[in-house]
Amino acid sequence: MKGGSLQLLSLHKSYGDVPAVRGIDLNIAAGEFFSLLGPSGCGKTTTLRMIAGFETPTSGEIRIDGDDVSRIPANDRPVNTVFQNYALFPFMTVEDNVAFGLRYQKVGKADGKRKVAESLDMVRMGQYAKRRPGQLSGGQQQRVALARAIVLGPRVLLLDEPLGALDAKLRKTLQVELKSLQESLGITFVYVTHDQEEALTMSDRMAVMAGGQVEQVGTPAEVYESPSTAYVADFLGSANVLTVEIINSDSAGQTTFRLGADTLSCRGGGIDGTDARLVIRPERLLLEPPPEDAGTLEGTVVRTVYQGPTTDVIVRLSSGDELVVRRPSERVGQHSTGEQVTVHCRADAMRLLPPGALAD
């Protein structure tokens, strides 16, 4: 199978006077695992439905391998979709479910049987071919839905939160399997999710969406480590996002700022005005002095939150803001509620962004 390239050009969709998607431009490479990530109502599912042909764009283009398909019926597009509820026919066997779409293609009986068997083997469901969906677990049904989609050989496979109905442990297992399957098939995957961990785990690249627009596009590491807006920093993973006062930015790119009674410096900035957003990931803060120089913030431990291998230490600063410091659990016992602590912030762990709206 071969994946197709996908381009979205100035894509808009409105329902009456209400805009759902507002001018999206994306270039997705052939064979790429690309995720649309964002909260409910951000426009990611509407975007997916327009690519699938279930919704007609108000304006803009959808190009697959250079051809505009935005006005082509869904059944004539080289795409297929896997839904969250799987949409399997309960009265059909597994192999009949997978073969259903082949009825509308000019595929001989023997060739169709071979394709169904190959697709089921790809998702490790060949031994369940004679069972019905009601005799399968949620994870097995998800694999059957994937087999039904890939048997038609789409150039682009659309996945609308396909793991959302599964328990947490099974989701983690299937994340790895799904990425491995995509790599072996070479099909372009466009994956819609509100789950940050799913997007970080599986994506080659991802687009973080808000309010019908794309906030940032990049690899998981780029988006996580270098968020371009306060919204992205707050939505993707855990982040301390605090309002600070800019004191000075020098010609060397060093910015000094104030947070409550404390003054710190970091590289970067270029912020217009006196207010900015300071972004620090919890795992990059320390409660012991690091080997290199770092800024410091004084505060009081207000509570700890145990999370298994890690524990979050919540520190209230002199400004009244609360800062989350994430530490290995075995090292947290020495910190108790009410204790005065010094939080160490390395310059390379801090990022200054323009003030802006945060995720709901």
Span 158-176, mean pLDDT? 82
For residue 269, the Cα-to-chain-centroid distance in whole angstroms is 26
Question: What per-residue confidence (pLDDT) applies to 208?
Answer: 96
Sequence-distant (6+) residues with CB within 8 A of 229 are: 215, 216, 353, 354, 356
Among 75-84, 156-165, 173-182, 216-225, which range has the highest average pLDDT? 216-225
Question: What per-residue confidence (pLDDT) applies to 233?
Answer: 87
Half-sphere CA count of 263, side-chain side, radius 13 A = 5
Q: DSSP character for 212?
A: T
Dihedral Cα 203, 228, 27, 40, nearest 10 deg: 70
pLDDT band (50, 70, 90) for residue 85: confident
pLDDT band (50, 70, 90) for residue 128: very high
Question: What per-residue confidence (pLDDT) applies to 170?
Answer: 78
The domain spans of the chain are 6-230, 239-353
Order across the sheet with 285-286: list the strands.
285-286, 340-345, 295-306, 310-317, 322-328
Question: What per-residue confidence (pLDDT) applies to 270?
Answer: 61
Q: CA-CA distance, 158 to 143, in Å (whole number)? A: 15
Q: CA-CA distance, 342 to 122, in Å (whole number)? A: 53
Span 83-98, mean pLDDT? 89
The third-level CATH classification (topology) of the domain covering 239-353 is OB fold (Dihydrolipoamide Acetyltransferase, E2P) (2.40.50)
| pTM of the model as a whole | 0.86
Kindly report, residue by residue over 192-235, the tens digit of the pLDDT.
999 998 999 999 999 999 999 999 999 999 999 889 888 898 88
Structure tokens at 142: 């998800």
**Residue at 28: amino acid letter:** I
Order across the sheet with 240-249: list the strands.
262-267, 254-259, 240-249, 275-280, 350-353
What phi and psi, each to the nearest 5 degrees, are found at residue 315?
Answer: -115, 130
Judged against a pLDDT cut of 80, whether residue 166 lies above it is answered with: no
Span 43-64, mean pLDDT? 96
What phi and psi, each to the nearest 5 degrees, are found at residue 81?
Answer: -130, 140
3-state class percentages of the chain: helix first, strand second, coil last, to nearest 5: 30, 35, 35
Q: CA-CA distance, 193 to 197, in Å (whole number)? A: 10
> Are residues 21 and 13 in contact, defined by beta-carbon separation less than 8 angstroms?
yes
Share of residues in the chain with pLDDT > 90 (%): 50
Question: What per-residue confidence (pLDDT) applies to 360?
Answer: 42
Judged against a pLDDT cut of 60, whether residue 359 lies above it is answered with: no
The third-level CATH classification (topology) of the domain covering 6-230 is Rossmann fold (3.40.50)
Question: What per-residue confidence (pLDDT) applies to 139?
Answer: 84
Q: Is 336 exposed, middle or buried (0-12, 13-18, 19+ CB in 10 A)?
A: exposed
> Are residues 265 and 305 in contact, defined by beta-carbon separation less than 8 angstroms?
no
Q: CA-CA distance, 214 to 228, in Å (whole number)? A: 11
Question: What per-residue confidence (pLDDT) applies to 173?
Answer: 81
Kindly report, residue by residue over 300-315, the tens digit of the pLDDT.
999 999 888 999 999 9
Residue bearing the bigger pLDDT, 265 or 355: 265
Judged against a pLDDT cut of 80, whether residue 116 lies above it is answered with: yes
Kindly report, residue by residue over 31-53, the tens digit of the pLDDT.
999 999 999 999 999 999 999 99
Judged against a pLDDT cut of 50, whether residue 357 lies above it is answered with: no
Least confident range from 89-93, 133-137, 257-261, 289-293: namely: 289-293
Q: CA-CA distance, 50 to 298, in Å (whole number)? A: 51
Kindly report, residue by residue over 248-263, the tens digit of the pLDDT.
877 666 788 889 888 8
